[in-house]
Amino acid sequence: MVRTLLYLLGGLLLGLVIHLVVILILPRISENAAYTQVASIEALNRTTLLALPKAGEANPLHLDPDMSYGLCKLDLSAGPGEVTGTLPLAFWSVAVYDSTGTVLYSTTNRDGIGQTLDLGIFDPAQTRLLAEQKIDISPGLLIVEARTDEVFVVVRLAPPHPSVRDRYEAQLERLACRNIAI
């Protein structure tokens, strides 16, 4: 009886360990991970519009065809990053992802931000310098701390009508995406 309970307990613990290892490692080695898809897009220190999916075509990033998407990649080893600019009055949202595809920060213009996006992304060392007031930043900058130096920012914009999509996408593409000089 005791031996059977020990085998059950051992099997349960082994199953738990295998389950956790698979859950933690599989996203990092997956070829279809969001970061793997985004890595091939040229968007380092600039905002690039993502091509919208067409009906019947593959949509690996699961983009909504009614939205417009701007992508910006930053390398924080070159200094803190910032994404700034003015967006149209329509609904928009911004999300910061790390290299594992984990969302570090997300907000919308409905959170009281209005039309202005002013986002700063810092690694832990840069955040320490910021706390010690050794980095000058503009007032009102939203601060996001990233655990890794490779991050990407996705800005989603919902044009209210197809006739204004081009104008809204031009404004989305004008977002500044750069490293802050320290």
Q: Could you tell me which CATH class the domain 34-179 is placed in? A: mainly beta
* pLDDT(154) > 70: yes
In this prediction, residues 150-166 reach a mean pLDDT of: 92
Q: Tens of pLDDT along 81-128?
A: 999 999 988 899 999 998 878 899 999 888 777 788 999 999 998 988
Look at 169 and 54; give whichever has higher pLDDT: 169
- What are the residue boundaries of the structural domains of the chain, listed by start? 1-30, 34-179
Task: For residues 60-79, give the mean pLDDT.
Answer: 89
Residue 146 CB: number of other CB atoms within 10 A? 24
Alpha-carbon span 73 to 155, nearest angstrom = 12
Residue 38 near residue 152, CB atoms below 8 Å:
yes
pLDDT at 99: 82
Claim: this prediction has a pTM higher than 0.85: no
Q: Are 72 and 42 in contact (CB under 8 A)?
A: no
Distance from C-alpha of 120 to C-alpha of 137, rounded to nearest angstrom: 9
- Are 154 and 92 in contact, with CB atoms under 8 Å apart? no
